[in-house]
Structure 1
Amino acid sequence: MTDPIRIAILGASGYTGAELVRLLHGHPNTDVVVLTADRRAGQPLAAVFPHLAHLHLPDLVAIEDVTDWSGVDLVFCALPHATTQAVIEALPERLRVVDLSADFRLEDTAVYAQWYGGPHKAPELQKTAVYGLTELARERVSRARLVANPGCYPTGPQLALMPLIEAGLIDVDDIIIDAKSGVSGAGRAPKEGALHTEVSEGIHAYSVASHRHAPEIEQGLSRAAGRPVLVNFTPHLVPMNRGILCTLYVRPCEGVKAADLLARLGERFAGEPFVKVLPPGTLPHTRHVRGSNLCLIGGVDDRLPGRAILVTVIDNLVKGASGQAIQNMNVMMGLPEAAGLDQAPLFP
């Protein structure tokens, strides 16, 4: 039996940090040895997340107090955006890193500065980062030292659209993405807009025509198309804890129907453990993936001639964050890709 991979989780007091701990508890090849949370330093994780109190874990510490990394093999960074670049740049080069923030997702540092309000703090390191949409970048992920874990909103649309664009089956200049997310996507820090009375019994669009995940989606679709692609992307906040549902409105090429699009996706993802394409006319619900690392894709022909509608669902905290991060870790470390991620969805 090989020695376990020794894991550090930076930013363990947030939702994605808690999901990393929960999922890694069931992983046969890992051992969590460092947990950081600056504002909670000195406390046990049980004080922050009582549902994890039964696990044997190290106490939380401040990042600056971790001076010896010799007992760590891989680092998950679950820190706020714009804080991760300097942290990762200071880590020993031998450490493998999966970054769950947005700090290394955008390959063009000028685009990053435009959307995140300041210059990139580690441009040379950005050149080495691999965008870790695992199913579409597995070989590059396996060789990477630093993997930029995709954002929650971009995951489903890219998995559904990139293979169709590569196959020339849809018009890349006519894509609309209508996305809806649970409140956990806003993070755990107190925010007025995430209060129960602000969110419950309603739904609203936000960051309309200005959401930071738009350029991330466009980066992937542009790579698939071999030329710049722009999309209409509008996110909405819905009163549920977990889940993202994206409705994708596309114009198939002449003579192509929704069944043809689904057939292509079925071929592309045949044998994949986490991406499942549903039969034509069957549409997924967010409750079908809750707590799992699955992405489900369904589709139908639109009643408008020459159009089709695809629907993707994921759990934003698992396939949209921590689950995909562990999937990438498995690929990076030469482990079975589904290790620690075989939980069936929780229903009801």
Structure 2
Amino acid sequence: MTHKIAILGASGYTGAELVRLIATHPSMEIVALSADRKAGLEMAAVFPHLRHLTLPTLCKIEEIDFANVDLCFCALPHATSQRVIKTLPSDVKVVDLSADFRLRDPDEYAKWYGGQHDALEIQKEAVYGLTEFYREEIKTARVVAGTGCNAATGLFALKPLIEADVIDLDQIILDLKCAVSGAGRSLKENLLHAELSEGNHAYAIGGTHRHLGEFDQEFSKVAGREVKVQFTPHLVPANRGILATVYVQGDAEVIHATLAKAYAEEPFIEVLPFGEAPSTRHVRGSNFCHIGVTGDRIDGRAIVIAALDNLTKGSSGQALQNANLMLGEEETAGLMLAPCFP
């Protein structure tokens, strides 16, 4: 069976990544691609690296016939996505890559995103798209909310440890480095080459980053009490990748064994041998996440490091992984590409 796929917001980085991945999928066909300012253009004109593919011309959302669509990926900006999704036919499955349906509590959404939610009924039914932890719910979901890329990295490193109660929940420090594509494709002065290259800087300092809402929600849920991590992201002059270094209190070998057991059967999560550290260059362009654990010179402390590609495992690859489950396909379909190295 061939599933008919629409991608809304196909002119952005995550939209292009979805096209790249679906091109190798054995049972998906892209039947519609939307864009706003670039409507009317061929995808090859927007992303020349995709010119070898036969794809629909970019169009406005209102021009798409959703009667011919089985599943829709929404790679639209926050707030825009919820307004569009609530107008889609109820028989169309949706994987949303924005933040609009990640937070279950409407008050938390308003707190972190500065406005009231406009599609509360859909928010109630949406399943959080961290595939490895919500697999069964995703299989029967109509709407799946993709995680934030920073959030996914931290969650992969910490969620099994919190669930197993092998670390001090009040002493978690998360230091994260994110490549520039995580900020999207819109023109921004601070992302110009002359502004960004040859340096790196912290941002959203002191607990203001929006992905903290996801950490608070997911960590507190699994712990059964409030858990707040200390989190500082940094923007680095690289195109792809996230590297999260997490400082925790606990026995390093127990922590490593806990992660190894939690991910033993997961096709996309690789826990490295004890003492080895992952690198973003070893997961580039892939749907894999590598996690390493090492002890600290101070007894009772450990360092957990996680690396993934923010556009793939952190966003579009995760979205396709979830779509496979929603459509009854093999979870790994279209996603077993090896990382690109060097």
1:120 aligns with 2:117: yes
Distance across 2 between alignment mates of 1:304 and 1:124: 49
1:54: Cα distance to partner? 1.1
The match for 2:96 is 99
Q: Does 1:159 align with 2:153?
A: no
The separation in 2 between residues aligned to 1:228 and 1:126, in whole angstroms, is 22
87-96 or 159-168, which deviates more: 159-168
User: Within 1, Cα distance between the matches of 2:216 and 2:222?
Assistant: 10
Matches within 5 A, 1:50-69: 50-66=48-64, 68-69=65-66
Contact 2:252 2:300 in 1 (8 A): no
> By how many angstroms is 1:65 displaced?
2.1
1:84 aligns with 2:81: yes
Structure 1 residue 324 and structure 2 residue 313: aligned?
no
Alignment match, 1:343: 337
Supply the AA of the counterpart residue of 1:221.
F
Which 10-residue stretch deviates more, 18-27 or 114-123?
114-123
Normalising by the residue count of structure 2, what TM-score does the alignment of the two structures yield?
Answer: 0.98
Q: 1:174 aligns with which of 158, 171, 174?
A: 171
User: Which letter does structure 2 place at the counterpart of 1:171?
Assistant: D
Matching of residue 251 in structure 1 with residue 245 in structure 2: no
Q: Which secondary structure state, in structure 1, belongs to the residue aligned with residue 6 of structure 2?
A: strand
Deviates more, 1:300-309 or 1:196-205: 300-309
* 1:296 correspondence with 2:290: yes
Q: How many angstroms apart in 1 are the aligned matches of 2:13 and 2:299? A: 43
Q: How does 1:1-348 map to 2 (within 5 A)?
A: 2=1, 4-66=2-64, 68-208=65-205, 209-252=207-250, 257-348=251-342
Read off the aligned partner of 2:216 and give its amino acid letter.
E
CA distance, structure 1, for counterparts of residue 171 and residue 326 of structure 2: 36
Structure 1 residue 332 displacement after superposition: 0.9
One-letter amino acid matched to 1:274: F
**Matches of 1:172 and 1:16 in 2, distance apart?**
33
Q: Is the 8 A contact 2:35 2:59 kept in 1?
A: yes
Q: Distance between the aligned counterparts of 2:94 and 2:285, measured in 1?
A: 24
Q: For the residues of structure 2 that align with 1:304 and 1:195, how far apart are their CA atoms?
A: 41
Q: Secondary structure at the match of 2:33?
A: strand
Q: Could you list the runs of 5+ residues in structure 2 that have no partner in the other structure?
A: none
Contact preservation (8 Å) 2:277, 2:293: yes
RMSD (Å) for aligned C-alpha atoms: 0.8
**How many angstroms apart in 1 are the aligned matches of 2:226 and 2:136?**
24
Distance 2:286 2:268 in 1: 9
Structure 1 residue 237, shift from structure 2 partner: 0.4
Measured after TM superposition, the shift of residue 152 of structure 1 is: 0.3
For 1:109 and 1:304, locate their aligned partners in 2 and report how far apart those are by CA, in whole Å: 42
**Which 5+ residue runs of structure 1 have no aligned equivalent?**
none
CA distance in structure 1 between the aligned counterparts of 2:68 and 2:59, rounded to whole angstroms = 15
| Aligned-pair CA distance for 1:272 | 0.9
Q: Which amino acid aligns with 2:181?
A: S
Cα deviation code 1:168-214 (max 9, x no counterpart):
11111111100000000010010001100111000100111211011
C-alpha distance in 1, partners of 2:180/2:307?
15
SS at match of 2:168: strand
Q: Which amino acid aligns with 1:71?
A: N
- Give 3-state SS (helix, strand or coil) of 1:339's partner: coil
Q: Where in structure 1 do 4 or more consecutive aligned residues deviate above 3 Å?
A: none
Distance 2:130 2:264 in 1: 16
Distance 1:332 1:72 in 2: 14
Cα displacement string for residues 293-336 of structure 1 (whole angstroms, at most 9, x for unaligned residues): 00110011111222111000000000000000000001111111
Is the 2:179–2:240 contact (alpha carbons within 8 Å) kept by the matching residues of 1? yes
**What is the CA-CA distance between 1:38 and the residue it aligns to?**
1.2
